[in-house]
Amino acid sequence: MRESWGRRVASVVVVALLCGAAGMAFDGVFPLAALPPVVAVAAVAPGVLAMLRLPLWGAIPVSVLAWLVAVSATIFRAEAWLGFVPSPAAVRAALLGVRDAGGRLLTTILPAAPDSRAIVLVSFLVWAATFAGCELALRTRAVMLPAVAALPVLAVAVVLGVAGAGSVVPYAAVFAGLALLLALVRTSRSAGTLALGVPLLACLVLGAVVAAPVLPMAERPYDVRRLVEQPPPQPIRGVSALDQVSAWLQNPQRELFTVRTASEANLRLAVLDTFDGVTWTSNAGFVPTGGRVPGQEGERDTVEQHFTVQRLPGPWLPAADRPLLAKGPGIVVDPATGMLASTQAREGLTYQVTSGIRQYSTAELREATPADDPAARRLPDGPDGRTPPQRARLGQIARRATAGARSPTQQAAKLAAYLRKLAKNDVNAPPGHGYRSVEFFLTESKRGTTEQFAASFALLARSIGLPSRIVVGFRPGAAEGGLRQVRAGDVLAWAEIEFKGIGWVPFYPTPSRTRSGGGGDVVEGAPKQAREIEQAINSDSAQPKPTQKPTTRPTPTATPRPGTGTGLVVWAVVPAAVLVVYLLGVGLVPPIRRWRRRRASSPAARVVGAWRQTVTRLRGAGIPVASGALTAGEVASVAETALGPAAREPLTALADLANLATFGGAPMDQADADLSWRHFGEIDTLVRRRVGTLRRLGHRLSPRSLLG
């Protein structure tokens, strides 16, 4: 009884570990640091309660009450009485949290925020699975049924975590290893078998964890988010960022925000991709994020930024180029453009951003082709539904400005250079960026702010078929130590053109305020890389040679998928994984086979099993015996010749018992089975004395040891 109870206790421990491993598979859905305390409580507490052996009708309500206390004391402390006693508000928040967590996580950029209350779903699933698994382990003799209770937890983690940054493969490997350990615990009849199996299972799990992520089958499964209707985009309230440019320029010393960074990259605030004939607006759809900003193209240099908002209006938050990570209160992100905003934007707000600064080469831009994006090429009709006369005029100006261009990128570069030489950068110019304002700027006033230069470039580009949009942002500001003060006068607007396989490439059509118009072509706010590339493209007077195309153009897929760049690793790891699995096989199969033979269903079968185990042992020692070609007596005679006279008695007696069990039809009892295995032990001792260790090890590592 004591042994049975000990096995059941061990089963409860393994079930708790199994459910804990399934809960940790939510890595990627939630930050890894947020999971251990939640998973530990949800996996340990139900196991402890199960050991009380309460009647099932009492165990269920006790477990539910204990779970409510646990989540009230951890996740919903604000609603709980005394910080841990479940109140109606805490109970309601917990139940609604479990109900709504799935939908919330499917519409959030993963991982969720560290303080997200949706983590109550993990607590509930792990707790329920541990409770069910432990009760099954204590109340039934089923071998694998307690492990089945944890499968739904792992399944939910896989479904919700497909879009996350983590990988569920290592946790699945640990889960499988613990399931096998549970089977070993519930079926082993000796401590020796358990002691042998545990380290071998640990090696198996370790090999699977190392090898699985780089195997071809480790690709991400189907993302169910495609089937979920995403919530409507959060509206961006307030004045358009482009409409504020002129006002900011009139109050240039107004302090908008500070940024601590080592980078001198421009800071983008808003991306405007929709034009209605009068104004540019953003079609961004913002979704919550716990930090990660998905989607990026091309090689990027990462930079860190720490922002403090001062008098920056509106919900938009500045960041360099394409944010990769953003941490701060209430941050939401547009996955398409990388725009950041905050539902809690206010003076004094601080947040941190890790951005990827895109690196372009002259070669890839020289050969780039415009992306197929009709929305980014659209020039709409006027409010009255008529075709604005300015559209034809814009086309004529654009074709004249780009005459002689040999590629789409050269067209864009020529447009930027044309505008910088055409007009003067005047901060006192009237605002406006509709059809009429742009036409007046290009043909009459030829004076404008960065607003008119960027809007003119975007419309001229669209008139010749280049997909374009406008970005409003800021120059990095004056630096004092590592801190940069960005003021209203640092505002800058530029345009971007979308190229196939490259993405959105910035162009800077605004001339310097001190050297603008026909007297020069000095760019306002353009990074050094952009100036060098534009100059190289504009000075390129010859078509690239066809033979250079395969060597100069980079692979269009800028960001490799996980595993595509690890060919050498796969070739190294896969054989190593196969070797580990093989070694585990030759280490596990023989003792398991011996264990099964010794614990066969009947005494006669156990006798026959002892004889077969003896033949296997002799053959492994290099003695030429084969149970299919020789009789039992002949096998005993051959083995006696090899092992010496001391082997005669156990060999002869065991051969006789095997013949009686197989052919004689004589009844066998447990004493005969025990005697047979004692004879095997004597023969095994003689084999170890006569046969060298290296020879026995060679047989153990041979594939024949797997066949018995």
Closest CA to 477 of 271, 241, 247, 259: 259
CA–CA separation, 306 and 475 (whole Å): 16
**Which residues, other chains included, contact 104 with Cβ-Cβ below 8 Å and sequence gap of 6+?**
112, 118
pLDDT of residue 190: 61
Closest CA to 306 of 252, 254, 263: 263
CA–CA separation, 212 and 201 (whole Å): 16
Residue 530 contacts residue 471 (beta carbons within 8 Å): no
pLDDT of residue 353: 94
CA–CA separation, 84 and 74 (whole Å): 8
pLDDT of residue 197: 62
pLDDT of residue 568: 39
Q: Which residue has the tokens 């640092």?
A: 490
Residue 117 contacts residue 297 (beta carbons within 8 Å): no
- DSSP-assigned letters across all residues of 638-704: HHHHHH-GGGHHHHHHHHHHHHIIIII-----HHHHHHHHHHHHHHHHHHHHHS-HHHHHHHHHSGG
Closest CA to 527 of 267, 164, 138: 267
Q: In what order do the strands lie in the sheet with 350-358?
A: 322-327, 350-358, 300-309, 255-260, 483-487, 478-480
Q: Which residues of the chain are modeled with pLDDT < 50? A: 1-3, 216-218, 232-233, 235, 518-520, 541-574
Residue 225 contacts residue 163 (beta carbons within 8 Å): yes
The HSE-up count of residue 265 (CA atoms within 13 Å, CB side) is 25
Structure tokens at 550: 């395969």
Give the single-character DSSP code of 224. Answer: G
Structure tokens at 624: 């030429």
Look at the alpha carbons of 315, 318, 322, 323 in this order and tell me if their dihedral is positive or negative: negative
pLDDT of residue 553: 39
* Residue 118: exposure state from Cβ atoms within 10 A (0-12, 13-18, ≥19): buried
Verify cis geometry, omega within 30 degrees of 0, for the bond prior to 46.
no
Three-state DSSP at 58 gives: helix
Q: Provide the CA 65 distance to its chain's centre, in angstroms.
A: 35
pLDDT of residue 3: 43
- DSSP-assigned letters across all residues of 272-303: E-EE-SS-EE-----EEBSSB-----S-EEEE
End-to-end C-alpha distance for the chain, whole angstroms = 35
CA–CA separation, 679 and 347 (whole Å): 87
Structure tokens at 380: 């709409």
Give the Å distances, CA to CA, from 504 to 170, 300, 307, 476: 36, 14, 25, 21
pLDDT of residue 301: 86
Three-state DSSP at 426 gives: coil
Three-state DSSP at 541 gives: coil
pLDDT of residue 582: 59
Give the Å distances, CA to CA, from 379 to 110, 437, 472: 36, 15, 20
Structure tokens at 680: 């095997």
R_g (Cα) of the chain, nearest Å: 37
CA–CA separation, 284 and 279 (whole Å): 16
Model pTM score: 0.63
Quote the crossing angle between the two packed helices 2-24 and 151-161, to the nearest 10°: 10
- DSSP-assigned letters across all residues of 236-249: --SS-TTTTHHHHH
Q: Which residue has the tokens 């053109």?
A: 497
CA–CA separation, 489 and 246 (whole Å): 10
Output the CATH code of domain 364-476+489-541: 3.10.620.30
Structure tokens at 136: 């099954």
Closest CA to 161 of 11, 14, 303, 28: 28
pLDDT of residue 191: 60
**Which residues, other chains included, contact 392 with Cβ-Cβ below 8 Å and sequence gap of 6+?**
none
Q: Provide the CA 458 distance to its chain's centre, in angstroms.
A: 36
Look at the alpha carbons of 472, 476, 477, 483 in this order and tell me if their dihedral is positive or negative: positive
Look at the alpha carbons of 329, 330, 333, 339 in this order and tell me if their dihedral is positive or negative: negative
**Which residues, other chains included, contact 181 with Cβ-Cβ below 8 Å and sequence gap of 6+?**
14, 197, 198, 201
Give the Å distances, CA to CA, from 697 to 15, 204, 582, 622, 705: 36, 20, 15, 12, 11
